[in-house]
Amino acid sequence: MRLILLGPPGAGKGTQAQRLVQKHGIVQLSTGDMLRAAVAAETPIGLKAKDIMASGALVPDEVVVGIIADRIEEPDATNGFILDGFPRTVPQAEALDDLLKQKRLKLDAVIELRVNESALLERVETRVAQMRERGEAVRADDTPEVLSNRLASYRAQTEPLVHYYSDKRKLITIDGMMSIEEVTEAINKVLAALAEADSAKEAKKDAKASAKRASVRKTSAKAKKAPAKAAKAAKKTARKAAKATAKKVAKKAKKAAKSAKKTVKAVAKGRKKLAAKAKSRAAAPKKGKSVSKGRKVAKKAAKKRVKAAKRLTKRR
């Protein structure tokens, strides 16, 4: 879980940060503590910050971001962290977004503890008065005047972050004027709801990924079956084509046989006709010979009769 706590001085950020650390096993990262630790460890970024701080100048945002980048890589930040005192400005928030993106990390929520500034000033005045009555020393930075200046600085520099994170739908606003216990309970409820929403989102993502994998497997199975299916289809098409061709050939053969039969019949008929003609022609000469023979016989008989007549004439 990675969180940012926003709120003006005196809103109770430190108290709630410690409770979140204990509940979720995360670390609270203070820019001041991180700067001092980096300088003490003499890391490259720490040495750079040391030189800048020694000159009395403000540490640039890129140096602070570099220190945070190193710090969140440490083992105790594996479960998450709460950033305290950073970011203070919109450019710092943008630099933090870039850093988390590079490290493929997600900011879970920005919790704003909204308070009434007048009520805060009254609280400080009451506390200071009570401390003085008890004879206790009052810190120089724990007076109504100092608080008023810090609140003005917060409004000018840090309050724009409320709109920045609201636009990114990361902002959760809690009424900081409630009791400490009530504020803690409200924060825990919101974070539990976020965790549940994230779980549902992850479950949906997993289901989608599973469906996608199943689709890929199905597509792969189809692809594996495709050649066999294509071969089967081709075989079926070939059988169908062969059947159609055979049917067509059979039809043509039947037609050819019918035509041949018709031709044979016509030839037979023609032959029969020719045979009849031949027979007729063969019979015609015999008839003519018979007539000729008859004529010859008649002629011969006539000659005989003539001869007989002549003989009779001579006798007479």
Neighbours of 92 (CB within 10 A): 19
C-beta separation of 112 from 174 below 8 A: yes
- State yes or no: is 88 an active-site residue: yes
- State yes or no: is 316 an active-site residue: no
Please pick, among 13, 48, 50, 71, the residue that the annotation labels catalytic. 13
Residue 136 corresponds to which tokens in the numbers above? Answer: 């206790």
- State yes or no: is 271 an active-site residue: no
- Those residues whose C-beta lies under 8 Å from the C-beta of residue 144, and which sit 6 or more positions away, are 121, 124, 125, 128
C-beta separation of 157 from 89 below 8 A: yes
- State yes or no: is 150 an active-site residue: yes
Cα distance between residue 297 and residue 291, in whole Å: 10
Q: What residues does 114 pair with on adjacent strands? A: 175
Please pick, among 19, 36, 123, 127, the residue that the annotation labels catalytic. 127
- The terminus-to-terminus CA distance of the chain in angstroms comes to 180
Please pick, among 139, 281, 287, 316, the residue that the annotation labels catalytic. 139
Cα distance between residue 270 and residue 117, in whole Å: 131
Of all residues in the chain, what percent are helix, strand and coil, respectively (each to 5)? 75, 10, 15
Query: Which of 34, 44, 111, 39 is closest to 77 using CA atoms?
Result: 34
Residues with catalytic function: 13, 88, 127, 139, 150
